[in-house]
């Protein structure tokens, strides 16, 4: 009789972390990320404990943005451009969407300047996909990608 050949697991090739290490990993991840629905929930309930920053270009921001967001393109973040931002508030940054790393770059630059920052996963693309309001010259007609 032919016995089945052992199969190699790509999932288990690297052993799973301990529950403690896994908990620490995901807690740390949540400390630096948020998502569209959490941002919208806070906005709807008047929980304005964070500053929302769109790190896309001025053009993209002018065409379509989340209401209440300020614009600070990620490549322009430095001590001078952030001088008026309060360091006692968390900053939430967003970019185009999952394929854009502008939010990550903005968060890195801001945290390097001493700000507490979270990146909004999904960016304006998922903000719009979830049916949330936008403002700007083109609003809903603006492109979903940069």
| Alpha-carbon span 10 to 32, nearest angstrom | 29
| Active-site residue (options: 39, 55, 92, 95) | 95
Backbone angles phi, psi at 56, to 5 degrees: -75, 180
- The distance from CA 86 to its chain's CA centroid, rounded to whole angstroms, is 19
Backbone angles phi, psi at 119, to 5 degrees: -95, 135
Assess whether 100 carries a catalytic annotation: no
User: Which residues are identified as catalytic?
Assistant: 95
């Amino acid at each position: 009789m032919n016995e089945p050949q052992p199969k190699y697991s790509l999932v288990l090739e690297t052993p799973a972390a301990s529950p403690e290490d896994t908990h620490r990993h995901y807690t740390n991840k949540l400390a630096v990320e948020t998502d569209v629905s959490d941002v919208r929930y806070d906005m709807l309930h008047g929980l304005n404990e964070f500053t929302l920053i769109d790190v896309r270009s001025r053009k993209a921001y002018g065409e379509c943005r989340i209401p209440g967001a300020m614009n600070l393109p990620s490549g322009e973040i430095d001590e001078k451009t952030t001088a008026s931002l309060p360091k006692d508030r968390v900053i939430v940054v967003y970019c185009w969407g999952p394929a854009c790393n502008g939010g990550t770059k903005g968060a890195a630059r801001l945290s390097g300047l001493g700000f507490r920052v979270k990146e909004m996963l999904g960016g304006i693309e998922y903000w719009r996909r979830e049916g949330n309001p936008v403002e700007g010259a083109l609003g809903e007609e603006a492109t979903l990608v940069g």
